[in-house]
Amino acid sequence: MRKATALRDESESWKGFSAQLSDLLELAEMGDESMLAELESEVDALEKDLNQRAFQAMLSGKYDKEDALLAIHAGAGGTDSQDWAEMLQRMYLRWAEKHKYKVAILDSTVGEEAGIKSVTISVSGDYAFGYLRSEKGTHRLVRISPFDSANRRHTSFALVEVLPQISDEHLEIKIEAKDLRVDVYKSSGAGGQSVQKNSTAIRLTHIPSGIVVTCQNERSQLQNRENAMRVLKARLLEVEETKQKEELNELRGEYTKAEWGSQIRSYVLHPYHLVKDHRTDFEMGNTDAVLDGDLDKFMEAYLKMARV
């Protein structure tokens, strides 16, 4: 029923687009110059709609319509990399906000001095995984370090992972109770009232694979367990897909260390301003806009390249 509803909605959407186009053609054929400004406005809106539809047509992967799990891990670079990981978290949260996606931070570990060591974010909405799969890989930042008293230039790295959240009716992954170890502990926090006094955080260990998942950001132990199970199933799906066929590059990309020579994208803030994707060669000079969530052109360039 869910699939049928989605197909019906898509069909109705295209019928509506076709009807709009027919109406515009009829108005244009009337030759009334007083309607020219209105026609131009309608054509611009229709063209924008068509470009968006063409963009979504590139999202034809097996899981592109699904929700996504986005994980960010600080890499080589110490405190600077942990700060960079937090900057990336903000960038993706702003991107999701602009696209009206629902987000939830499932788990996070703060850095010793600044930033975060890692974070796992749930991104829910149509084509969330399809858009975000272009972001998986190592991201490099070059800037004058705010943590260096000598004001020297530093290079920092962070690894971004993107996994599809498969709904239960589409998921063939089964987890036996005997294969799962569940640990409950108190959530960590910044101190004061933010520290949980009850044991609500969950750590799931899948014994056969050795995969460990933690979730501590909800106040309910049950909610944390449900979220942790979603992440675990997504990671097990990735393993299963890799065993069955060479889909690893489509789901996550080859796992690489977040360090020199492995970056997919560089963000240079000194001595000049430039964000460049090394896979597509697409670049933007407005680094502030990119770090504020303006990522669509990078995603589009990647999707076009991936279709070739």
Instruction: With cut-offs at 50, 70 and 90, classify the pLDDT of residue 195.
Output: very low
% of the chain beyond a pLDDT of 90? 50
Report whether pLDDT(246) > 90: no
User: Quick one: CA torsion of 269, 274, 278, 279, rounded to 10 degrees?
Assistant: 130
Residue 269 exposed, middle or buried by CB count within 10 Å (0-12, 13-18, 19+): middle
* pTM exceeds cut of 0.85: no
Report whether pLDDT(248) > 50: no
Mean pLDDT of 185-203: 65
pLDDT at 272: 95
Which residues, 6+ apart, have CB-to-CB distance to 178 below 8 Å? none
